[in-house]
Structure 1
């Protein structure tokens, strides 16, 4: 019983903040600046607003149906035991795998800055090692996840806040001038891309069964974590573009935050931000691995992966953790995930749109506000359309990869059901 009540409000908030403030602000910021220019902070605000609208549905649904499955549970309850819910559940799991792989690569890249003469193979060693470390942490149990996440998040948020505050004192107003803003389309394209930096809020719902009083704790944790992250992203992005000319940001886009610290903190600033990047990406892995493992387990439990995946390991249902981690290590070591991050963003936008559409079907049970639900649906679908339009013009191969992922998710689900005749089992109300 104690294990089920092990995650309180601030541990839950830390899981959400940890899942969001990870590779997003460190790896995506440079690319976002390249597209959104000196108005990139507006892109973070727009993406944050889209995330907030979806947060409303997650809060309502999570409070009504607390489950380790989070959005998986919501989709099954909304659409029933069908290919639609199954396909979106698989798409969500793939999204987590892509995000985790990106975080692992980002952690490895920042770790490598401390070993400038090291062989490139060390990048793969770091990426694999950080995943294995948090497999062990997650194996210990949910209490270890909450405690370790709270510790890591406190350090990284403190460093980022100090960076933003210090940067404000050295901002060059001309670098932020609206006269230098790019076209509105670019700002919207950047917003669609940086949505990936917010997807982690949904991880809080995966911890609902381990929360103390989820009906109260879950909504508070969701809203708090998204508001905190919006403020962090806006503050940090303002400090970056206000201190570093755009060409220099683009030139150093893989480590834009660290480079932006040099004008006012010198070389020590670069090191401090690199350390913050290590903490941030590590905590994102910690939180996302916890949620992603739970997602893969609940998918197996409810009937969407082969029964072998339900096999107990040492008497505990943690096989989802091992399966997820194994696939993440494979992706992190074999693929370049810089552009695949866009596929991750698109995947989460579609899944969140599906959750909100499902909320419409359950609105009488959750007493949800119709206007807020529709705003969330529109925000997600418009953002997805904007991202597809950008990929069509700038990265056709990435768009093809996205189409393959979508085809695999739904066709794979259809084929598996046809072969096994297995159905999803919707649980009774908690």
Structure 2
């Protein structure tokens, strides 16, 4: 029913919640380690690319002129390739798995630091806690335990309020003690690399594109919600980055990458600040895992119905997508237990930069000759995505070589699986033809 559809306020809350949900708590330390006091600039660069991608998706939606369309339909319609649409869907799913693994990694880090327990029986506690929280939320989703829209609005409001208190409190403290610095004297490639690493913190607004049928006046509401949420979140990230990098030394940030935000609260809020931010991070990353599991499992089911995934992944009729949840949970748990924070965040960021860059390119290719905006904005998104992907890969290859090969190996495996799936009929026909020829020879 139309009365049950959500409006602009709820849509903004969904988009902001998707981005702030757990990304900034998890990825801030990685970004700050790469860009130091220019971390704020990295978030501006990533925010501009995300905004260009948002414009591009909206532009493709306007050209499509169908309220039931979504990102995958745009890809298929404007490229004429079902394979590319399916591979984009797979990339979305893989990106969500990486994102949830990052959230779980951060959850385990904050949990163990808060309790002061890093090992149990000589075994690191963080991987165990991270896997356990994944299992917990898979179970809750299987049982159908999801937060209501109103509850999500309250949680998003609390998370943003805590980050604003942290940000403005830290700026006041830093200004009072002469600790605030622009960092521009250290300008170099660091912000571009950090922008690529930070891109996963801008993942979340695109979920609105998959929920068009549950939003009032989707074309106009989604347009406003995406622009407002990305600009607002970018501003919030800038404030948080300035406080963290100005009040905490690079060495301390590197040693506490997964809990950098809480560590940065100590100078002006003391131990109570560390506890407050840590508790907020636990709620935030936990709710982000829950929400992403919910959305991505339904994306998997939709992809099955459109033959983008094997039928064995979906099913379960009108109930919860149990098989999809179990598959997502298993892959996420393996990733968060075996991976490093750098590797997980790099992989997730790479997935979403690729998707958003591709959307920008597609919008640029379908630009209007008499409207400069339809050319310039997608061009910025395309060039920005290419530059950040190149910077990220260069950084990983030169500074994090094991992470580079891990990310490369996973990427090759995923692409190979996608190609094999979408070319399966051609392969089957080729094998049958070869068998027939052999039989004729014999």
TM over 0.5: yes
**Structure 1 residues 325 and 5 mapped into 2: Cα distance closer, same or farther (>3 Å)?**
farther
Q: Identify the residue that residue 216 of structure 2 maps to in structure 1.
A: 212
Q: Identify the residue that residue 418 of structure 2 maps to in structure 1.
A: 413
Task: Provide the C-alpha distance between the structure 2 equivalents of 1:133 and 1:73, rounded to a whole number of angstroms.
Answer: 33
Task: Provide the C-alpha distance between the structure 1 equivalents of 2:137 and 2:13, rounded to a whole number of angstroms.
Answer: 16
Q: Identify the residue that residue 28 of structure 1 maps to in structure 2.
A: 27
Higher alpha-carbon Rg: 2
Note the C-alpha offset of 1:12.
2.2
The answer as to 2:302 corresponding to 1:298 is: yes
Q: Give yes or no for contact 1:296–1:324 (8 Å, CA) kept in 2.
A: no
The answer as to 2:163 corresponding to 1:160 is: yes
Match of 2:361 among 353, 357, 363: 357
- In the TM superposition, 1:122-137 aligns within 5 A as 123-124=126-127, 126-135=129-138
The answer as to 2:246 corresponding to 1:247 is: no
Task: Provide the C-alpha distance between the structure 2 equivalents of 1:221 and 1:318, rounded to a whole number of angstroms.
Answer: 31
Task: Provide the C-alpha distance between the structure 2 equivalents of 1:378 and 1:142, rounded to a whole number of angstroms.
Answer: 42
**Structure 1 residues 312 and 359 mapped into 2: Cα distance closer, same or farther (>3 Å)?**
farther
Match of 1:262 among 263, 266, 286: 266
Q: Identify the residue that residue 326 of structure 1 maps to in structure 2.
A: 330
- In the TM superposition, 1:70-81 aligns within 5 A as 70-81=70-81
Task: Provide the C-alpha distance between the structure 1 equivalents of 2:416 and 2:342, rounded to a whole number of angstroms.
Answer: 26
> 1:264-321: per-residue Cα shift (whole Å, max 9, x none)?
1111111011112112212322332233223322222221211222323455666534
- TM-score of the pair, normalised by structure 2: 0.85
User: Unaligned regions of 5+ residues in structure 2, if any?
Assistant: 428-442
Q: Identify the residue that residue 151 of structure 1 maps to in structure 2.
A: 154
Match of 1:374 among 363, 376, 379: 379
Match of 1:184 among 181, 188, 195: 188
> 1:361-410: per-residue Cα shift (whole Å, max 9, x none)?
5557xx98222122211111111111112112112232223333333333
Q: Give yes or no for contact 1:135–1:325 (8 Å, CA) kept in 2.
A: yes
Task: Provide the C-alpha distance between the structure 2 equivalents of 1:324 and 1:70, rounded to a whole number of angstroms.
Answer: 21
Q: Identify the residue that residue 427 of structure 1 maps to in structure 2.
A: none
- In the TM superposition, 1:231-242 aligns within 5 A as 231-242=235-246
Q: Identify the residue that residue 10 of structure 2 maps to in structure 1.
A: 11
Match of 2:289 among 280, 285, 288: 285
Q: Give yes or no for contact 1:249–1:256 (8 Å, CA) kept in 2.
A: yes
Q: Give yes or no for contact 1:44–1:233 (8 Å, CA) kept in 2.
A: yes
Q: Identify the residue that residue 439 of structure 2 maps to in structure 1.
A: none
> 1:4-61: per-residue Cα shift (whole Å, max 9, x none)?
9443323322222222114432222222222211111111111111111111112333
Q: How many aligned positions are there? A: 418
**Structure 1 residues 382 and 10 mapped into 2: Cα distance closer, same or farther (>3 Å)?**
same
Q: Give yes or no for contact 1:17–1:201 (8 Å, CA) kept in 2.
A: yes
Task: Provide the C-alpha distance between the structure 2 equivalents of 1:224 and 1:71, rounded to a whole number of angstroms.
Answer: 20
Task: Provide the C-alpha distance between the structure 2 equivalents of 1:372 and 1:111, rounded to a whole number of angstroms.
Answer: 41
- TM-score of the pair, normalised by structure 1: 0.87
Note the C-alpha offset of 1:159.
0.5
Q: Identify the residue that residue 171 of structure 1 maps to in structure 2.
A: 174
Moved more, 83-92 or 315-324: 315-324
SS in 2 for 1:170: helix
Note the C-alpha offset of 1:179.
6.5
- In the TM superposition, 1:38-57 aligns within 5 A as 38-57=37-56
Note the C-alpha offset of 1:345.
0.9
Q: Identify the residue that residue 426 of structure 1 maps to in structure 2.
A: none
Q: Identify the residue that residue 399 of structure 2 maps to in structure 1.
A: 394
